[in-house]
A and B are shown apart, each in its own frame.
Chain A
Amino acid sequence: MMRLVDGFRQPRAAKALAQRLAELGAALGERRVRLMEVCGSHTMAIARHGLRDLLPPNVTLVSGPGCPVCVTDPGYVDAALDLAERGARLATFGDMLRVPGSDRSLEQARADGASVRVFYSPAQVLEWAAAEPDQPWVVLAVGFETTAAPLAALALEIRRRGLSNVSLLTATKTVPPALDALVVDPALAIDGFLCPAHVSAIIGAEAYRPYAEEHGRACVVAGFEPLDILDGTVALLEQLLRGEPRVENRYDRVVKPEGNRTAQRAIARAFVPVDAPWRGLGVIPESGLALAPELADLDAAIRFERPVTAGRVNPACRCGDVLKGIIAPSGCALFGKPCTPDRPFGPCMVSSEGSCAAAWRYGRARATATTGRTE
């Protein structure tokens, strides 16, 4: 079954798609086009496969706020560390471990004795908590809809089993409100969106209709294999050439127009929308997910009486501008010197889906290149 992966990496087809992109770029003539991808998996795949090299010179693909770890306020890490200091066992995705809070990261706190355990699935916490019923466990619930659905299922299962020693500290967010904020910002001038693969599997392709019909942006839902991304970009350029922005679903082998209703129902049962702060974008109304009133006792911020408040961002850190697509990672003065994955100043350099991490891992030049640009 690797053929379902390999089939979307065929080198000859990639070359053909790159050729098609070159033709479309030429057809656009003098026009410069700005596309944005808003999915961490896309960010990483584009970097890992070197796909930007295949874009025509008049087409720019910027990374948007598609990484939920990257848009998390440092105050969230501070709150989590506070809970650990009060004796909670933190359970988290690996990605959050090295994200700097106002002072320290979870990893540093762990080295100092805090209890921090990494899961690959939040469902593992059910076993851990059952094995230590006297210990309070706190799940760091960070993610977009793709992760909100499993977290919803977890919350409902915690309730069903009557586990009293697990709570969730939520920083879960939804993507469409961020797109709402991005489309109304004239400085960004996005002509089209490469829409996420698996967020779309949950929310459905139809969710992007307003961005095409009311805001006139080309929208293509694409998978995250190289051929999917190249094909999605071809589709965006074709829409822009025809001047007919619409929502096109090129990942229809997984994404349905209406999305995954079962997952949506789980999210609706477990969570309610709340205003939420996004690093770089400010507070976006109704863009966060907090636990629903019936599950409020599972909210760690309530249980421990420790609300999440704004943290302190390093003033030199430009993750916010990177997340909005205003600058590329290399545009940040800290990029590479001193901010690297070994010594991250902000979440974009830490997360496995962060733009800066992708640029550093796959795209930087080690020696000074003849272009004179430090990448």
Chain B
Amino acid sequence: MSRITLAHGGGGRASRHLIEHEIAHRFAGGPLEGLPDAATLRAPCTGLVFSTDSFVVQPLEFPGGNIGHLAVHGTVNDVAVAGGRPLWLSLGLILEEGLPLEVLRRVLDAVAESARACDVQIVTGDTKVVPRGQCDGMYVNTAGVGAALPTLNLDRRTLAVGDRVLISGPLGDHGMAVMCAREGFELDAAPRSDTGPVHRLVMAAAAAGDGVRFMRDPTRGGLAAVLDEVVDGLAVGVRLDEERLPLSAPARAVAELLGVDLLHVACEGRVMAVCAPEIAPEVLHAWRALPEGHGAADIGEVVAEPAQVTMATLAGGRRIVDVPLGELLPRIC
């Protein structure tokens, strides 16, 4: 089996060979042509949205995707929910000596295919190799630039009582997929990661007109963490309806077994939006028309309970939606 060696990161012939044969040809036809050290880009707008994310997921590959998918979708989504149209990504790789070349290829294929599907270009990057034992296979960083969309004006301070809380699909599939892969659960029907781009969901919401107050993708910490940040310091809060939370059957089963609350589990391809009640049905309709939004649901409302996130339970009672101390499931993304 071919493996990454320290020579591949040394800057010499082995490095160049790796970059030309594995990286450049997957991302050809753009600024990477000729392998310059930096990309010179012309922005089609006056405002830019810029974001970066690093990915340390363990294991590198899991049902529904691999670290390459996460690396593209994660940054594309951060740019999108901040109101940007994603354009360009950088790709930084830190590889562990001994990493099988086949794994690297699958990850790079995932990066290329995800970038194509999101209509973004990988324009610059870097590759380093560290000695065996020093980075758990592979760490990836992507930074992304997008054009600021003038139509999207998101401010959580505009939340008003009666606004609806929407989610674009089932909660916690990504975190549960990684958990199962890591724990080596034998599964007939494992939860599959929901890793995917959300920018089309964001643009569909923007197209519904004024009234989208706020959007965020619930990654680490899950929907609970996002909502907690949204209501922090506000005079209003959020009340979720447990009966209406969309949950996939495999994720539910594993969560019950492990005693995990799916509100705390990371998604990697979902958007939460808070909208004025008049446009919520339209946003839902637009989301459900997209493949990545077909499980979208209206899951709650903004209420006059300052800075609190609560939930009406299945049993008809009420409880606080808490945010756990640390990361329940480490190395999820």
Contacts and interface: CB of A to CB of B under 8 A. Distances in A.
Direct touch of chains A and B (CB < 8 A): yes
Interface string A33-60: 0000000000000011111111000000
B317 A366 contact: no
A362 B256 contact: no
B306 interface: yes
Given A2-B249, A2-B256, A11-B243, A363 B314 contact: no
B320 interface: yes
Interface string A1-40: 0100100010100110010000000000000000000000
> Taking chain B's interface residues, is the majority helix, strand, or loop, or is none over half, making it mixed?
loop
B210 interface: no
B320 A362 contact: yes
Nearest to A1: B253
A360 interface: yes
B317 to A, nearest CB: 2
A322 B20 CA distance: 67
Interface residues of B, number: 21
Contacts of A53: 316-318
B325 A15 contact: no
A341 B319 CA distance: 17
> Taking chain A's interface residues, is the majority helix, strand, or loop, or is none over half, making it mixed?
helix
A209 interface: no
Contact of B325 (A49, A341, A364): A341
Interface in B292-311: 305-308
B133 interface: no
Nearest to A13: B315
B327 interface: no
Contact of B316 (A11, A360, A362): A11
Interface string A203-237: 00000000000000000000000110010000000
A367 interface: yes
Contacts of A15: 316
28 contacts: A2-B252, A5-B256, A11-B243, A11-B314, A11-B316, A14-B314, A14-B315, A14-B316, A48-B313, A50-B312, A50-B315, A50-B316, A50-B318, A53-B317, A54-B316, A226-B315, A227-B315, A230-B315, A341-B325, A342-B325, A362-B319, A362-B320, A362-B322, A363-B319, A366-B320, A367-B305, A367-B306, A367-B307
Interface of A: 2, 5, 9, 11, 14-15, 18, 47-54, 226-227, 230, 341-342, 352, 360-367
> When A and B form their complex, which 8 residue pairs have the shortest distance between CB atoms, in order from nearest?
A50-B317, A226-B315, A53-B317, A14-B315, A362-B319, A50-B319, A49-B315, A361-B322
